[in-house]
Structure formats: C-alpha cells, structure tokens
Chains A and B, each alone.
Chain A
Amino acid sequence: MSEIYDIGYRHYDGPRLGPGYSTRALTLHSLRGVFGLGRPARSKIIPFALFVIMLLPAVVNIAMMALAQQRGIAYSGFAVVMQAVVAIFLASQAPAVVAPDLRYRVLPLYLSRPVSIVEYVSAKVAAMTVALFLLVAVPLTLVYVGELVVDMPGPPATGEYAGALLMALVLAVLLSVFGLALASFTPRRGLGVASVIVVYLLSSASVPMVYGIFAESGNESAASWAWLLNPFWLVDSVQSWLFNTPPHSIEGTYPNGPASAVILVVLIGIGLAALALRYRKAAAR
C-alpha cells in the first residue's frame, strides 16, 4: 500500500555552479535546439534531412574508392562543392538558435540569472559553430575512415584531411557569426530564414557577375578577387594560401598572399560587432 504525502516545500542546499557551467549548459541546449532534439518531430526533419544529404557524397566517395580505386571530391573541396546544402542548413537553423528568445522575450529570464549577455551570445555562437562544423566534418571523417579501410594505393591524404577539418571550423565560425547576426536582426523565424538565404544568394550570384566583368576586360588579377565575395570560396582561398591546396573556384585562381585571411578575420569581427550591438539593445529592453 502506498500513500502520497505532501512533504511541503524543500529548500535547496546543494551546489550552485559558476558561469562556466551555465554557459556550457546553454551551448548544449542550443545545440540540441539546432537539431530539433527535445522539440516536436517536425523540428527534426530539416536538420536531419540536410545532414543525410551531406553524407551522400561521402558514401559515393567511399564506394568509388572501394570499387574503382578512384578519389571523388577532394577533402579540401568538399565544403565548396556542398556549399548550397551548408547554406540552407545555416538559413533554416540559425533562426532557431536566436530568434525565439528575442521574439518571445525569453532573454530577461536569462539575464535575471547569473548569465551575462556576453556569455549568452558566446554560447549561441558556439552552438551554431559546433553544428556547422559537425555538418562538414562528419562526412569528411567518414570518407577518411573509408580511405583507411579501403587501403587506397599511395599514402592516405591525412594532411589534406586535417587541413580541411581546420578550415571547416573556420568556415563554421564565419557562417555562424553572420547567420546569427542576420537572424537576430529579424526575430520572426520566416524572415530570419529568408534574410540569411538572400544574403547567401546575393554573395554567390555576385561572384560570376563581377568575375565575368573583369575577366572579359582581360583583367584576370582583378577578377580573382571576385571569389572572395562568397564565404565558401573565401575560406577556400585561405585554405589554398595556408596549405597550398588547389583552388576549388570554378575557373581562375585566388588572389595571392594573406589578403583573404585578413578579410576573413575582419568579416568575423564585423559579425561579432553586429551581434554585440544587437544584444546590447535587446538587453536594455
């Protein structure tokens, strides 16, 4: 026989952990949100479908290596080839990370706790970065494991793989900073999705236009700068400069030297500044 007792209110005298713990917990919570974990099933469809699409070329690559002893997409070019999928993932999931807290005014519930606005934004950027990194790094790692198992002729492309992983992280930081900044300025989810995708399309569409104009007038070196308008080619050009990988631009080369790396750092800085501005305003509300 069991009885239910009303034991009344109990006080909590256990540990209260510091801001490091809260920030990690918020990062994990946001990361779960990106993939729709702990949310209704419909929130899981898009992120997981895109993840599967990212895995398909990896599977094809492994099959080609196993059956035809041939390499498919190079590690260094994977992100550029799959850029549309990565961009759609960013556009559809970045609003899920930042928009609800702004739109439904959940932010005051965080700020009335020992969570500072800097820790809040850092956790959100970290969560989106990890998600994008996983999106690119998991297929790369799958191919690499496949390459080791298949035992291709010649030494495994470990260096290129490691470089591609590092650049995947850099790309993830750049994309998440910009994606979150755009999404935070448009707290309605649909608008957030649209604004991120529009900025990506503009940056992509402007590349062939600018490139074409300069290439036709015979100014090849000026034309090469056009590639840097698109974040994926920008990161690829940094990779090309750092690791001497072949450029994965559609035609032509990238500008020589560290210029693209400088642009990359400046862009990340601009994105962070935009986030800081946006959240300083949101916190004051």
Chain B
Amino acid sequence: MAFISTGYNPQKPMENRITDIGPHKYDDYFPPVIKKNFGKWLYHEILEPGVLLHVAESGDKVYTVRVGGARTMSITHIREACDIADKYCGGYLRWTTRNNIEFMVTDEETMKALRDDLNSRKFDGGSHKFPVGGTGASVSNMVHTQGWVHCHTPATDASGPVKCVMDTLFDEFSHMKMPAPVRMALACCINMCGAVHCSDIGLVGIHRKPPMIDHQWADQLCEIPLAVAACPTAAVRPTKVEYNGEKVNSIAIKEDRCMYCGNCYTMCPALPIADGEGDGIAIMVGGKVSNRLSVPKFSKVVVAYIPNEPPRWPTLTKTVKHIVEVYAANAQKYERLGDWAERIGWESFFKLTGLKFTQHLIDDFRDHAYYTWRQSTQFKF
C-alpha cells in the first residue's frame, strides 16, 4: 500500500483548510415532486404494507416504498440502493429515523415494479436485502446501537439480537395487524445511545457484577475524581492501596451500592465491568413518544434479566414475540402497548403474559421510586 495524499499537509494543517460548512441543505436532493409540493401536502394513505401515497393540493401524487435495513450497511449495499434509485426514482432516495430506506416514484405502475424488485433482492446467505414493510400498525424497524461490533461499554451485542428479534417478528413487520404501531429499540448498555427508554418494547443491555479495580493502572489511566463523580449511587470513592509493596492511589467500590451502570468505566478504563456470565438484557415495555391519545411515557422493566445467548438469543426472541402476541390479542384498536397495560392494570399485564413479577421490577432509584409504589387499596388480586 502506498499512501495517497489528498493534498493535506500535516506540517501546515490550516493551509486551504475548509471548516464549519455544516451539512448539505435539506432541499439539495429533493425529488422534483417533493420540491414542487413542499408544504402543500393534503393527505396520505397507506396503500399496502410498506407503501405510502401522499397527495398534494396540486393533485400531484408521490408513492413511497419503505424498506427495512440493518443499520450497519456496507458501501456495496448502499451502491445497490443507489442503483435502484437510479433505475426507478430519478436518482433520489432517503432514510428514515428508524434505519429504513424510502424510494419515491410518481406513478403506481413504477411503484409496483419497484416494490417487487426490492422484495426480490436477497443476500447470498438468503436474507432479504430490502424487505418492504414497517408502516402503520406494524412492528417497525428497530433502532439500535453498536454492541460488540464497535462499542467499548456494551453488555450485549446490538446488531445480532436485533436481527434475531426482527426475524422472529418479520410477519408483523410486513403486515399491519397490530392494534397500533409497535416501536422497538435496543441499547447495548444503559447509556442508551439508542434511547430505548420510551419504546413500546425496549431491550437494554445490563451488567450484573460490580467493576473490577485495576489498581496497577487506576492512577495512570484515570482521573480518579471523575470516576468518583460519575457514580449515581455514591458507591465509588478514592482510596490508597498497597500494590506490589507500594502505596498507590486507586479506587474503592462499595459493592452493595453498585447497580452496575458502567458509568465509572466510561470515565475510567481501569474499572472493567463487562462479564460474559453476568451480562445480559432487560426487557422494558410500554413507552411511547407520540402525544396521540395519551402523553409520552417511559418504558417499564418487565423482565429484569435474560442471559446473552449468542448467536440467536432464543430466550429473548421468544419472550419478545410472546409479549407482542399477548398485546396484539388483547389491546383495543389504536391502543399502544403501554396504554393497554395501564388500562388493564399491570397486575393483569403480568397475569396475561405469564411473565414472573420479581422484586427486581420494583423501583428503588431515588425519589421517583416512591411514586411508583401503590398508595391505594385499589388493586387486582
């Protein structure tokens, strides 16, 4: 390999440097029908799963075909999406906030050809490249984080469990038979880059063992006060320990106060927390962001721990599928999972799903915990 310079000169970094130019303007790449009817859309219809029709005041129509995608995408895959956009869509395409790709055309015939083409494309391993779906009252594509593919703090993988859950719920992705949209997300640790805290079903990687303390390196690798300040439960404190016959500055952890958030490890690499046996996934349900009918709400933990079972996470996928099925069978039309659970009561939620209620599911973090205890004699046996 011979280094190919772009013309950048490390000796003179400011020479011809361009900075602070920001993103491209949002309308640089509007398809013509979008540009023409901007702000003038009248209504929309979902013609079939994964296919939207938007009608403008001008009478113009745009057909959108939505396909799910793995968030981790190769340039070979992106180039194939570009080929499709060139063939059918005048070279335009867009992504949604949930890692879907949308292809837009202006007539029904092209839409059908496009849809069939997208559904026909498969990877060598047999999975779909561009599965059409994820609209309306369906299980839409999961948003997720990096996991073991590229993150330093995960308690589980992200792409793998998401692939397994979406395989299990593929029929629910490609049909609209849920009572309401089901939005799922996975975050590989409680940092929640994937913001699962307001999802109908949120999967979050959790640790279950306090960090180990690498006394040899703590003072060299870390700003110890930052690690101390990072702890939400004041379990971390500075200390001096004997290491190889010498007194060294290090860290002590009160283990019974630690709830394994890993925040100290984020600040201090000398506090490794990951553990193959201890780590796994908690399932949270019933959150939402939309203001429709009820106000936005947080997801609640209904399964405290499921072990990591790579490569196919069978216990996780089975549990998620089961929750989705019980919800679909019992909720009213338009009712999000959390609204259903609140209407029937959480006692009924656990009865209907058969999930075991354990002490882990009772909040004990700060003042908020008290407001989740039951201050009433109104409850269901």
A and B interact physically? no
